[in-house]
Structure 1
Amino acid sequence: MDPLYRSLWDDVDGCDTHDAYKILTRLKLSSDHDPELHRAIEAIQVMEPGQRTHYPNLAEIGPGLPATTWFWTNWIPRGAITILAGWPGIGKTYVGLHLAHCVTSRTAAPDGAELDLRSGIALYVDAEDFLPDLYFRAQTWQMNLNSFFVMQRPPRDLLDFTKPEYQDELTEMCFCLRPDLLVVDSLSMINSRGENSIEEVRSILAFLADIAQQFDTALLLMHHLRKPGKRVTTPVTMHDLRGSGHLVAMARSTITLDLLKTGPDDDLNAPRRLQVQKKNRGRMPDPLAVHFTDSPATPDVAELTFAPVNTVLTAPATKTEECSHWLLNTLTAQGPLAQAKLLQLGQPLGYSRMTIQRAREKLNGQVIDTLGAYQRGNQWRLADDESDSQP
């Protein structure tokens, strides 16, 4: 509120509406030579003196807010974004296709729960140009293809959801089809500038969130994790979603898919673990083991079966592996710490100085020094702390 506006407002605020109107009208007639005074008078006339702006409270807003409903109870809500994150090649597309199969065949969820199905339609956004393989897998599984719709990537172009024409196409498809499940595969391929353009990614997430809410659909967004020193055999933790804070904040539920370790050696054919890492409402469901077995029809296609993780014989973590997870979680929660402080925190848990040092080495550069290993004031910090602080 500039001084001129405030001065005029104070002059007329105590008057009744009729007197204030007369004062402002006389001033306005004599203000043609003063554009600034003319503007201030018009601004005051829009809001009558004595009038106060009404700001709605939660008691007024609350009854009109949409209630949370679950497509897959405690896993995937309707009307919001759900992230499915994992290392490239871990099997996220298989899981997304399996959920589409559950919808089109009107069968139960992977944990046996009943899905909230209405149209029985699944819509798959194929931004990665994977349609031939999707079709081959769907045929092998004998999916109901009449209820499975695909938004295809255009020839020699990206399916860029920063462009209005692609937003309009998806909006129209959702309006006409009313899908129970919308799978977007993947975030990195629906933006011509990739996931590094934070502002464009936020714009796309806002568009997808609006689509999910407007059509009350379950929206599953695939997200490829990429971290230095990480491989497909590395377990996924919430730390691995650091740097994707804007993405996780927009999602109502965040699910990860990683490899279950069943022996001392890495086995790329071992079962996967499907786990909810973060959600805003309801209890955290028990993680599921996902078994990939060759289809009897063709060994080039896997069939998925699900079971509680505790039914799979997993190899116990070594002391160094346990310490590695502890070290990541501690630095994620508390930020940079001196090695002496880490030793103080770790010793009650049975982690010696040597174990903590080996745990850091096992993390392959994910933990670095702030100054130098032997410099006064040096601390250990996560290598991606600086990138995470970007807007």
Structure 2
Amino acid sequence: MADTLSDAVKNRAANLMANENMPWDKAKAQAQAEQQTATEQPADDQGDEVRRPKLWNVADMERPRPIQWLARHRVPRGAITVLVGDEGIGKSLLWVWLASKITTGQAAPEFGIKAGKPGHVVLFLAENGFTDMDLPRMEAAGVDTNYVHPYCTDADGSGTPPLDLFAVNDIMHADYTPSLIVADPWLDMVPSDLSVKDGQQAKRALRPWRELAVKTNAGVLLVCHTNRTDSANVRDKYGATAELRKTARMTLFAQIDEESERLTIGPEKSNVVARGVPASEFTIHGVPKDGFEDDVPVLEFAGVSEKTAADLVVEKWEADRPEQTTRRTAAQKWLESYLTAHGPSKRQDVISAAAEHEYSPKTLLRSLKKLDGTSKDLPVVPRQTLWSLPGQDTSDSRDSQDTDPEQDPISLEGVPTDPTVTDLHKRNVPTAQSGQSGQSGHPQKHRVPTANLTTAETVLDYISPDVALSAKAVAQGVPGVDPETVLSHLDTLLLRGLVMRDLKGNYLRKAAA
């Protein structure tokens, strides 16, 4: 009969034996009785009438409410968040860092955490030793352990069971309500009779965690490992927890950014946050602790990356591809030419310019290192990086393509201007199809005698008032001017009203009014 007992009943019976000194048969019987009671459906306020689904009018239901955040755009309250990453990179230090803020009520606006009253943290830990790893890390990070509650059998932190009905009942009847609940690693908390590779069984394994999140309004953080799949698609790296990704409201992906050598953690999949949220960067440093020969690792916030979690996965995958060797040599030559022509440039500008040649950011970074170039962080948020060649002056961190007003090759006198290109696109700009392009013929150009006058005029002269040209055709067709410079001048001409775009996005020169 014992072989048919569920893991939940076995764990509860074992706890009763250890804590209440009950014999096995009595502990087993009480555990079975408790489970039977816990699984009975509660009656509602109508006496003995059993609660059951019914058809509702929306007006009678709860009103909509905004999402509540434990850490804005990172860890929502009342929902499951998955933290996934390779083994040994320090991702478990994130929940320690979070606990240091939550248990002390400290704000961490860089990670979306507001100041408030200290909150409680419940821990389900099975990977590290609690007394020799988890507890020292929490103390070194400044966690107020009076607000920390491991769920386990023994005083040394061992004997953590799966989250079952008994655990949920214990948490719900505690004299505090947790703000954060952590399972590290989550797979060790899954009952042995469930396979999370199966979608339906994975949902069964997740159900008690989701219900606990809803009932406590806590942020539930499930820590998982990636597999060893070599892929640029982040979804392939979830392995056994792929089904978990589908169900979780938020997933955070942890990895090392080889460019900055920092631990980066950012949203990878979310039902509540728009795509493109940049990752947060952390450094790991050691803190001396009495009685310990080695320093204790502690996480420290280092800034906001200009990359997303998905960007970093692609970069890492492309970095060591054998077929990239020849392309790296070509990329190195291209990058040297670009930085020589443009001077110190923002990393994102270089990447955008290299997109036409399909050079990846990681290939460009390796090329920069081969050229003995430098990568300098600018004091802005999100973080931006300036790339330069040896000997180039980086003291002026302006965009290298900015133009001084006194060197502007085209005067604004008599020419309507718009504040931004985005605003210009939103307006009712005359187009060739609409028949509002004005008089035909060569437009009257307004020039001032400057040394930079030739390039802008060349670009403008190439564009016809009668034949629409794509941006690529213009960039590749202007004689004697590299495509990147052409596109830069093309944006300026559009902004200043000297060229326009038709309904297909092609460019025409405006005729003189």
Common fold, TM-score beyond 0.5?
yes
- 1:151 matched residue in structure 2: 151
Aligned-partner residue type, residue 248 of structure 2 = A
Matched to 2:209, the amino acid is L
Alignment partners' CA distance in 1, 2:240 and 2:144: 39
- Alpha-carbon distance in structure 1 between the residues aligned to 2:316 and 2:280: 22
2:214 maps to what in 1?
A: 213
Distance 1:218 1:113 in 2: 13
Cα distance between partner residues in 2 of 1:296 and 1:72: 29
* Deviation readout 1:215-243 (Å, 9 max, x if unpaired): 1111111111223468xxxx882332366
Given that 2:125 and 2:150 are in contact with CA atoms closer than 8 Å, whether structure 1 keeps it comes out as yes
The CA distance in 1 between the partners of 2:84 and 2:115, in whole Å, is 23
Partner of 1:386: none
Distance 1:167 1:227, change over 3 A: farther
Separation in structure 2 between the aligned mates of residue 205 and residue 318 of structure 1, nearest angstrom: 31
What does residue 169 of structure 1 align with? 170
1:111 alignment partner, SS class: helix
Aligned length: 261
Determine the structure 1 residue equivalent to 2:247.
250
Change (3 A) 1:229 1:141: same
C-alpha distance in structure 1 between counterparts of 2:135 and 2:257, whole Å? 28
In 2 relative to 1, CA 96–189 (structure 1 residues): closer, same or farther, beyond 3 Å?
A: same
Aligned counterpart in structure 2 of residue 291 of structure 1, from 264, 271, 283 = 283
Once the two structures are superposed, the pairs formed by residues 234-245 of structure 1 within 5 Å of their partners are 237-241=234-238, 244-245=241-242
Task: Determine if contact 1:117/1:180 at 8 Å carries over to the other structure.
Answer: no
Q: Secondary structure at the match of 2:264?
A: strand
Instruction: Give the superposition deviation at 1:304.
Output: 1.6
Residue 385 of structure 1 corresponds to which residue in structure 2? none
Q: Which residue of the partner structure matches residue 367 of structure 1? A: none
Alpha-carbon distance change, 85 to 153 in structure 1, aligned in 2, over 3 angstroms: farther
Which blocks of at least 5 consecutive residues in structure 1 are unaligned?
A: 1-52, 264-269, 325-346, 356-391
Measure the CA separation in 2 of the matches of 1:90 and 1:319.
17
Equivalent residue number for residue 270 of structure 2: 279
Contact 1:70 1:116 in 2 (8 A): no
Residues 108 and 115 of structure 2 are in contact (CA less than 8 Å); yes or no, is this contact kept in structure 1?
Answer: no
* Structure 2 CA distance for aligned equivalents of residues 89 and 319 of structure 1: 19
DSSP-derived class of the 2:161 partner: coil
Residues 28-66 of structure 1, C-alpha deviations (whole Å, 9 max, x = no match): xxxxxxxxxxxxxxxxxxxxxxxxx984355554x4455
- Structure 2 counterparts to residues 347-362 of structure 1, below 5 A: 350=358
Deviations 1:108-152 (A, max 9, x none): 237254437455222222233531111111222342111222112
For the Cα contact (< 8 Å) 2:107–2:115, is it kept in 1? Answer: no
Aligned to 1:308: 304
Counterpart in the other structure of 2:228? 227
Q: Where does residue 95 of structure 1 map in the other structure?
A: 94
CA-CA distance at 1:350 after TM superposition: 4.2
Q: Name the structure 1 match of 2:162.
A: 160
Q: Is the 8 A contact 2:84 2:253 kept in 1?
A: yes
- Cα pair distance change 1:211/1:239, threshold 3 Å: same
Q: Provide the identity percentage.
A: 18
What residue identity is the alignment partner of 2:138? A
Partner of residue 179, structure 1: 178
Distance 2:247 2:235 in 1: 15
Q: CA deviation at 1:322?
A: 9.2
Q: Which residue of 2 aligns with 1:135?
A: 135
Equivalent residues of 1:96, 1:183 under 8 A apart: yes
1:71-104 C-alpha deviation (Å, 9 max, x unpaired):
1111111100011111122212111111011111
- Partner residue, 1:328: none
Residue 187 of structure 1 contacts residue 195 of structure 1 at CA under 8 Å; is this kept in 2?
no
Amino acid at match of 1:75: R
- SS at structure 2 position matched to 1:241: helix
Q: Aligned partner of 1:275: which letter?
A: G
Residue of structure 1 equivalent to 2:373: none
- How has the CA–CA distance of structure 1 residues 64 and 87 changed in structure 2, closer, same or farther, with 3 Å as cutoff? same
Amino acid in the other structure paired with 2:237? D
Alpha carbons of 1:318 and 1:86: their partners in 2 closer, same or farther (altered >3 Å)?
Answer: closer
Distance in structure 2 (CA, Å) of the matches to 1:148 and 1:65:
32
Equivalent position amino acid for 2:162 in 1: D
- Residue 12 of structure 1 corresponds to which residue in structure 2? none
For 1:202 and 1:151, the matched residues in 2 are separated by: 22
Separation in structure 2 between the aligned mates of residue 195 and residue 322 of structure 1, nearest angstrom = 32
Residue matched to 1:369: none
C-alpha displacement of 1:262: 2.8
TM-score by length of 1: 0.57
3-state SS, counterpart of residue 110 of structure 2: coil
Taking a change above 3 Å as real, the CA distance of residues 143 and 236 of structure 1, as seen in their structure-2 partners, is farther
How far apart are the structure 2 equivalents of 1:287 and 1:104? 24
- The answer to whether the 8 A contact 2:186-2:224 is kept is yes
Q: State the distance in 2 between where 1:304 and 1:318 align.
A: 22
Q: 1:83 to 1:304 in 2, by over 3 A?
A: same
- CA–CA distance in structure 1, aligned partners of residues 207 and 137 of structure 2: 31
TM-score, normalising length: structure 2: 0.44
Question: How many Å separate the matches in 2 of 1:226 and 1:217?
Answer: 28
| Distance (Å, rounded) in 1 between the aligned partners of 2:118 and 2:288 | 30
Measured after TM superposition, the shift of residue 201 of structure 1 is 3.3
CA gap of 1:90–1:110, structure 2 versus 1, over 3 A, is farther
- The CA deviation at 1:309 is 2.1
Which structure is larger by alpha-carbon Rg, 1 or 2?
Answer: 2
2:250 is matched by which residue type in structure 1? S
